[in-house]
Amino acid sequence: MSRILITSALPYINGIKHLGNLVGSQLPSDAYARYMRARGHEVLLICATDEHGTPAELAAAKAGKPVDEFCAEMWQVQKDIADGFRLSFDHFGRSSSARNHHLTQHFAGRLAEAGLIDEVMEKQVYSNADGRYLPDRYIEGTCPNCGYENARGDQCENCTKQLDPTDLIDPRSAISGSTDLEVRETKHLYLRQSQMRDRLEAWIDSKTDWPVLTTSIAKKWLNDGDGLQDRGITRDLDWGIPVRKGDADWPGMDGKVFYVWFDAPIEYIAATAEWADATGQGDDAWERWWRTDKGADEVRYVQFMAKDNIPFHTLSFPTTIMGSDEPWKLVDYIKGFNWLLYEGGKFSTSQGRGVFMNQALDILPSDYWRWWLLSNAPESNDSDFTWESFQAGVNKDLADVLGNFVSRVTKFCRSKFGEQVPEGGAAGPREAEVTAEIAKRLKSYEANMEAIELRKAAQDLRAIWVAGNEYLQAAAPWAAFKTDPEEAAATTRFALNLARLYAVLSAPFIPDASDRILEALRASDAAWPEDLDAALTALPAGHAFTVPDVLFAKIDDDRRTELEARFAGA
């Protein structure tokens, strides 16, 4: 057994996220954590809300609430939605926590001592119409690199080039749209990432198992243009972590806060400490996950995120960790994801285009969404959510294959043998053949889950379900019962054990259905099948069960058409 630390990119606090946000980090991190727990590893799955910065202030103002009150309410909303999707976080924290304040200020002090922070008088855009400095992402304009007209002041999301607001052509306020902007001088702190370039490159080069997506983006930021640039880590805002050197004041930095992208990744550590606080375990409990002098050198640390977060997790956050010159744990593996599109375009809150997480749960149970999103995860390329594809995934995979198998075998057994596993007969060549097929598929499934290749793992899982259906169809116990009840009993007993196996294997993808099957089979304590032959005889003759309700209801064409129209947007 090993220890595995898993973190999901932090969802931003200013609103409810769409399905693309869900499949870009939180959902795959949960599936991986569930699988690793099932295999006996000690797993700690950490997430939190990202609460600082201008978007939070503006969202709170729009809601007519103080920003701290707004963030507290939205944290609960996001926590409830995460629970609704059965995201098994060991702790779901907040980047505004006291722990994160302390750790962020601590890291800043250590970086200053190491000579990795510069105080810079910089020119920053001030909006006269808005009466405030505009953070980078609240300045929009035309990208000088690719010509994209809605580039932000920190990065062009079209070509991913890192930008400064003054680089933009025809800049405007993203808040008011005003072009009445002026450049003013203000002092800020810069993280000297450029001084860490060689060290970062050597570290990235050592990660030969990273996905191509992760490595290519990191390398692009390292080598694009003039290479890795120093990065501002403070802002002129009210809401955030005050700039301090550890416990000491930072002269000349009164009224400034740390930039959200500096403090947010530190919340991974802070949230782990919050978990230890909440469970009454103390500092030793979280330090063994994060401090290599306290045992974290034995931890495998895996991060999940969408591709726009990769530069900060491969460069900026590692600079903070390495530059502190303290024994902190660095990430071992970064699983990056491409975009999930909606019917060929982008999700849009303002236009009502696409399905958001709270809406999804109002429409159908979480397993329906979990299965489609994970089996279509945007791993090597962007994925496109369409209602036609979603309908097919629910109807053909969940209802026709898994749901149909469990329903047929339990109902048949009840009608012919009662609600208990039948005795009589013995397994033969047909059972040996399907066991061998499942063993081969199971080996591939486990390998793909270990490698976090979720689409491939989903294909393996579906193939294991299909093998059971084909077995049941070929064995035809309903026909055999008329001439050879013993053979029908042996087939039914084997099929019931297949249902138990399917529930265990399916738990990382569809945990609610897994629980319902195991509950019906009175096998809630079922463990991962380290011995497949033993797993397929785990329910003995005489073992009682009940027939579960319909596991998955099909989506008919009328319902699909209605949902397409409802979420098409303005």
CATH of the domain at 436: 1.10.730.10
Looking at the chain, the number of H-run helices and the number of E-run strands are 22, 18
CB count within 10 Å of CB 114 equals 14
Nearest-CA neighbor of 372 among 396, 348, 356, 337? 396
The answer as to whether 150 is a domain residue is no
The answer as to whether 478 is a domain residue is yes
Tokens encoding 371: 């299965």
The answer as to whether 275 is a domain residue is no
Taking 70 as the pLDDT cut, the residues of the chain under it are 225
Torsion of CA 278, 281, 285, 287, to 10 degrees: 70
The answer as to whether 117 is a domain residue is no
pLDDT of res. 225: 66
H helices within 309-386, ranges in order?
310-311, 317-323, 357-363, 366-375
The answer as to whether 552 is a domain residue is no
Q: Read out DSSP for 414-478? A: HHHH-SBPPP-----HHHHHHHHHHHHHHHHHHHHHHTT-HHHHHHHHHHHHHHHHHHHHHH-HH
DSSP class of residue 259 equals -
The answer as to whether 414 is a domain residue is yes
Max alpha carbon distance in the chain (Å)? Answer: 91
Burial of residue 157, with CB atoms counted within 10 A of its CB: 0-12 exposed, 13-18 middle, 19 or more buried: middle
The answer as to whether 510 is a domain residue is yes
CB count within 10 Å of CB 461 equals 27
Instruction: Sort strands 333-337 and 299-306 into parallel, antiparallel or unpaired.
Output: parallel
Cα dist. 326→106, 111, 234 in Å? 11, 10, 22
**HSE-CB of 357 using CA atoms within 13 angstroms:** 24
Cα dist. 261→53, 89, 313, 400, 459 in Å? 9, 22, 10, 46, 36
Q: Cα 519 to chain center, whole Å?
A: 28
Contact 493, 426 (CB under 8 A): no
Is 71 assigned to a binding site? no
Is 413 assigned to a binding site? no
Nearest-CA neighbor of 15 among 239, 349, 304? 349
Contact 244, 105 (CB under 8 A): yes
CA dist 110 and 105 (Å) reads 9
Buried-state track 307-330, b at ≥16 Cβ within 10 A, e below 16: bbbbbbbbbbbbbbbbbbeeebbe
Give ∠ CA 118-122-125 in degrees, rounded to 5: 140
Contact 496, 410 (CB under 8 A): yes
The answer as to whether 468 is a domain residue is yes
Buried-state track 336-368, b at ≥16 Cβ within 10 A, e below 16: bbbbbbbbeeebeeeeebbbbbebbeeebbbbb
Torsions phi, psi of 419, nearest 5? -90, 60
Domain count for the chain, please give it: 1
CB-based contacts of 198, cutoff 8 Å, min separation 6: none
Tokens encoding 361: 């749960």
Torsions phi, psi of 100, nearest 5? -70, -35
Nearest-CA neighbor of 79 among 71, 502, 208, 531? 71
Torsions phi, psi of 45, nearest 5? -105, 120
Range of the domain at 473: 387-535
Nearest-CA neighbor of 51 among 81, 31, 79, 88? 79
Is 143 assigned to a binding site? yes
Torsions phi, psi of 189, nearest 5? -95, 140
H helices within 224-297, ranges in order?
260-278, 283-290
- List pLDDT tens digits, range 301-347: 999 999 999 999 999 999 999 999 999 999 999 999 999 999 999 99
**HSE-CB of 467 using CA atoms within 13 angstroms:** 24
Contact 499, 409 (CB under 8 A): yes
H helices within 476-521, ranges in order?
477-483, 485-506, 511-520
